[in-house]
Structure 1
Amino acid sequence: MASIGPPRVEVPLDPPPSQPVYASDARAIDRLLGTDLVSHPLRDRLKQDLAATQARWERESATSGLNAAKAEEAAASQRAEAVLERAAATPARSLVGVLAKLTIAAEWGSREPDHDAQPWPFLHGALADLVSAVTGARTIDTPTP
């Protein structure tokens, strides 16, 4: 996979830019070269080259197990998301439960690529649970998970 790189083609531009310009889909080729009749042969050749590169990428992905790994990763992500949604919506019945929810939120959030984003549903749910555990009732202005 590393030897062939991602499926893309270099697009020759006039005048040549200081850095190579690549296209990874047919629309990008048309955007870069225009759709006039003069550029038609070049666009066709680049699209054929791109199709061949994409086909090779797909073959290598299947052979190397990348497709299977991506499918497994997506399935695991869906399972984790379902668990998180259920945990966020399940009311804690004790302060230990509130702590568990806050721990889940903090731990999960620290592993996300955008870890600065706040896990608001968890925090709102935990806050409502904490208010409920301490006062015995939810307040009117406390959002529910």
Structure 2
Amino acid sequence: MLLKGCYQITRPIGKGGFARTFEVSDKTIQVWPKRILIGHSECINCLAISPDSQILVSGSDDKTINLWNLNTGEKICTLLGHTGLVLSVAFSPNGKNLVSGSDDGKIKLWDLSTKEDICTRNGHSGSVNALVFSLDGQIVISGGGDNMIKMWRIY
């Protein structure tokens, strides 16, 4: 049973069909089998799992993005750069890049090997609520609070 304001994601991990469930409530992330990831100071808005199922990324009202090692539960790093609430995150299909969107209307492309923001676009006149990479990793599609869907060629 979930409390009001919580949500769950279940994702199969590995060839054996093992699944992990993520439950988000306020400022914490719970990984089942039971593990609690604490690292944000405000509400968590979005989650994504790397294509190899080794890393979890979380975006928060505290304007930060945290990367987590799913095997150990340890925080890998915090990405800083958004001036607004982080509302959306997505991994590239090869797992080398991350894209994030904020309520400041900006979209950021991150290089995960250097943990640096390599490109920032003014994405929408409102918030950036949804992001997804194309399967070839060449295009990012964003959905915004301005009621628009936009396509961005990133390479």
Q: TM-score range by the shorter chain?
A: under 0.3
Which of the pair has more CA radius of gyration? 1
**TM-score, with structure 2 as normaliser:** 0.18
Q: Answer 1 or 2: which has greater strand percent.
A: 2
Q: Answer 1 or 2: which has greater helix percent.
A: 1
With CA pairs under 8 Å and 6+ residues apart, which has the higher RCO, 1 or 2? 1
**TM-score, with structure 1 as normaliser:** 0.19
